[in-house]
Structure 1
Amino acid sequence: MEWLTSLRGAINYMEEHLLEPVTPADIGMAVNLSPFYLQKGFQIMTGYSLGEYIRCRRLYLAAMDLLAGGNKIIDVAYKYCYQTPESFAKAFSRFHGFPPSQIEKQRGKIKIFLPLKISITIKGGYNVDYVVEKMDSFKVIGFEENIPMDRGYELCPKMWERLMEQYLTPLWQGKEPGTDIERAVAENDIGVYGVCVDSGEDSFTYMVAGPYKGGQVPDGLTVREIPAAQWARFRSPSANTDSLQALNTQIFQEWLPGNREYDLAYPVNIEYYLCTGNGMEYEIWLPVAAKEKD
């Protein structure tokens, strides 16, 4: 399914199921898109996570129900999938700035949150520097953490900062490995890859990794196999965090909506860091499959 069509379909599905418990897996199945890429793309395109969008829409509609009169707070709470009136009141107060019991006095302060309409203006088309090539399966080894889907841009750089200080920078500067982890880091070039893997409804596993070359896997490190695939490899001439995130955003906002050749294949993407004569460069790799012909 075409990328923008999938995102619009996701919004329509959420709007039709606001009164029911809904998971990213449910939404992804409805629009034939992996929950991993759906959540990643939706966050980039709209600025909201799926859960945040559903929550904001429910709380706005709940305010409209209460303002209409004749609805008890407890009934509205259950209608919009809150387990208790107390949890509803807390969420309502955080969103609108006042408790539901004050709806009549505070009607002018109700926070409006209408259904989103996704549109895009392509600036310069999808003229990013990329190639598509087939690669055999390969294994990576590294440190991994579970990251909430809506905090990736915040927590992944912090993970790099911690590991750079503790392991990577000292070893790159010539420190002799003194522990099993340090030896594994040095022997497997950990720091070459940043790997995102689907790990659940609202999170993904992020690895600071390198190509696994065999040997001992110390406690604290994990080995994963990346399947054989056709990869779209997007190149950027800078490896700072802002440039990486800007390229990632450009891929989802421009390349995916604009390309007519490829769909995303499965829920993994890789950041590849490489040293060149001009300094550090990086690539973002996405597994792709040729679109089915109409």
Structure 2
Amino acid sequence: MGWIEGIQNAIEYIEENLTEELNIQEIAEKACVSAFHFQRIFTVLCGFTVGEYIRNRRLSIAAEELSKADARVIDVAMKYGYDSPDSFTRAFTKFHGISPSAAKLKGANLKSFAPLKIKLTLEGGTMLEYKIVEKQQFTVMGKVRSFNTDTSYDEIPKFWQEHMQSGENNIVCGMYGICIDSDGKNFDYMIADNYLPWNEIPEGYVTRVIPAGTWAVFPCRGPLPKSLQDVNTRIWSEWLPNCKEYKLAGNYNVEMYTPPTENPEDYYCEIWIPVEKV
């Protein structure tokens, strides 16, 4: 099964179970990929998180039910996973701009959020540079913080800024940014350097072992964060759907950074994605 087909299977599963409790692990299984990779790729391809998609679809359908049937707000709220009418009203009003009660009135203006249909389109025609390399196991030391997939794009840059401004970059300069799956929904992000075993581990720092394996390595050239984000998007939207020899492996990935350059246009870094032969 291809990657695009897998994502579409996952979306169809969500659509069939919008009134049920949805588990990210079960959703990702429909795409034949881990929850860790599924959430990251879904966000890149679709522009919003899995959680946002589910919430928007539920609120869209809930509005249809309120406008077309003699349904009670409390019943619709419970049907679509809200613990109370108040929490449903807040979410509904934020999404539609009117309250659930107002949505029941004839002629009410409501917003519609249609189901996704994933299609592969051809754009640009430019080559994405990469290489497949074998790497030995290595150990890193650094500072770890847990992040939620829904908010990580905004929060991780703040983590880096805090680390650099605190002066702790004298302990760990930040050769790596490493994402390590925690429970499918949350993951650990580590600002790290190579671990030197003859040095003591400072308080508040930890070590992690990155296992030996095969990696797809993608160069990123130019100012951060744009160069990194552009390549990351192209990995999931162009390279992965067209790659026939490799599939995603381990629930982690690595950003490798080099020292700053005088001219940001000359900056170089890499994204490492663990893969295995199909």
- Residue in structure 2 matched with residue 193 of structure 1 by the alignment: 176
Normalised TM-score (structure 1): 0.87
Ranges in structure 2 where 5+ consecutive residues have no aligned partner = none
| Structural mapping, 1:79-158, within 5 Å | 79-105=79-105, 107-125=107-125, 127-158=127-158
Distance 2:112 2:124 in 1: 34
- Residue in structure 2 matched with residue 211 of structure 1 by the alignment: 194
Residue 218 (structure 2) pairs with residue 234 (structure 1)? yes
Change (3 A) 1:246 1:168: farther
Three-state SS of the structure 1 residue aligned to 2:5 is helix
Deviation at 1:150, TM superposition (A): 2.5
Amino acid at match of 1:217: I
Distance 1:266 1:125 in 2: 30
- Residue in structure 1 matched with residue 274 of structure 2 by the alignment: 287
Contact kept? 2:140, 2:195, Cα under 8 Å: yes
Change (3 A) 1:107 1:287: farther
Three-state SS of the structure 2 residue aligned to 1:109 is coil
Three-state SS of the structure 1 residue aligned to 2:214 is strand
Amino acid at match of 1:280: Y
Report Cα offsets for 1:41-88 as digits up to 9, x if no partner: 000101121111111111111111111122111111111121122211
Three-state SS of the structure 1 residue aligned to 2:275 is strand
Distance 1:72 1:201 in 2: 35
Deviation at 1:129, TM superposition (A): 1.4
Task: Name the Cα RMSD after superposition.
Answer: 1.9
| Structural mapping, 1:37-48, within 5 Å | 37-48=37-48
Distance 2:254 2:74 in 1: 46
Amino acid at match of 1:221: Y
Deviation at 1:275, TM superposition (A): 4.3
Deviation at 1:274, TM superposition (A): 2.3
Distance 1:275 1:76 in 2: 55
Report Cα offsets for 1:164-205 as digits up to 9, x if no partner: 222366x4xxxxxxxxxx3xx3xxxx4110101112343221
Three-state SS of the structure 1 residue aligned to 2:139 is strand
Indicate which of 210, 227, 235 corresponds to 1:243: 227
Contact kept? 2:3, 2:31, Cα under 8 Å: no
Distance 2:106 2:209 in 1: 56
Three-state SS of the structure 2 residue aligned to 1:195 is strand
Three-state SS of the structure 2 residue aligned to 1:32 is coil
- Residue in structure 2 matched with residue 8 of structure 1 by the alignment: 8
Distance 1:231 1:265 in 2: 9
Change (3 A) 1:276 1:98: closer
Total equivalences in the alignment = 274
Ranges in structure 1 where 5+ consecutive residues have no aligned partner = 172-181
Deviation at 1:265, TM superposition (A): 0.5
Report Cα offsets for 1:233-281 as digits up to 9, x if no partner: 0012225111111111111111111211111012111001124999531
